[in-house]
Amino acid sequence: MSRLAAWSLLVALTVLLAACTSSDSATPSPATGGAPATVSPADDGDGSTTLAAEPETRTYRIVTLGDAYTYGAGTETPGRDSWPKQVETVLNQRGERRVFVRNLAEQGKASLDVINDQLAEVGGYTPDVVTLQVGVNDIVTKETQAYAENVAQILEELLRILPAERIFVITTPDHTLTKWGPEYGSSEVVEGLNGDLVQVASARGIAVIDIGPVNERVTVDPSLLVDSYPSRPYPTAKQYAGWAELIGRHINDALENVQP
């Protein structure tokens, strides 16, 4: 073989070897069983990388109706320390579900005010749970004779929105347990009003949450009452926290049975 022929053969073998090496180092195609090639931004159509959308977390809505005790009167920050807000905070911290509380309660409201000023707003929030706590201002204004009828009307309207097991009524605390409370009405009146509440709610299959066991501690624990001038029989954030514990259990149980 001549030198020219031998050189030509060597060049050909070199080129062939380089081609084989390049082929072996390339990213294998899916058909060969290797990892799929990465799609470039240009291939994605808009210059960005597409990520799979995360499933949306459902927010459960709670609407609370009532007077100063639900509003959170007596605390410096009702938007943080009222029992509805404390229920919201605790349930969200548990992480089992996301909840949102819309507190429609206001100071100075009686049962008739709930009908006139709050009830119409409930449906717009498509609530999963609704609570009602009202009565102290019916006592203060000496309008308790219409209380049972008013509560019945409120509950009948709520039953048009939700089943009975997702509606809760909450007792009015006994303000006469405080030294200045009797000026707002006797303990017998408070007991009678709460009795009417239980009767009206029970007749409709609606649960009553009694916050009395927490409220009764004010006789031995001054930190449960606001110390201010002029004095008012208002709970502190600490007492509201005790209420929130009782009420939150019922709400949490009710939400467990709501379809996501």
pLDDT tier for residue 162 given thresholds of 50, 70 and 90: very high
Question: How far is 48 from 42, CA to CA, in rounded Å?
Answer: 8
3-class DSSP assignment, residue 235: strand
Tokens matching residue 134? 């009202």
Quote the CA–CA distance of 160 and 174 in Å, as a whole number: 31
Where does the pLDDT of residue 56 fall: very low under 50, low under 70, confident under 90, or very high at 90 and above?
low
Q: What are the φ/ψ torsions at residue 227 (nearest 5 degrees)?
A: -105, 95
User: What integer is the mean pLDDT of 175-186?
Assistant: 80
**What's the fold here for domain 59-256?**
Rossmann fold (3.40.50)
Q: Is 70 left (phi over 0), alpha (psi -120 to 50) or beta?
A: alpha
Domain layout of the chain by residue ranges: 59-256
Identify any residues that bridge with 99 across adjacent strands, giving them in sequence order: 60
Angle at 114 between CA 134 and CA 90, to 5 degrees: 60
Q: What is the pLDDT of residues 3-41, one digit of tens each?
A: 434 434 433 434 333 444 443 433 333 333 443 333 333
Asked if residues 211 and 246 have their Cβ atoms less than 8 Å apart, the reply is yes
* φ, ψ for residue 93, nearest 5 deg: -65, -30
Say whether 105 sits in a helix, a strand or coil.
Answer: coil
State pLDDT tens for residues 99-147. Answer: 999 999 999 999 999 999 999 999 999 999 999 999 999 999 999 999 9
Segment 67-96, tens digit of pLDDT? 999 999 989 899 999 999 999 999 999 988
> Most confidently modeled of 216-220, 224-228, 241-245?
241-245
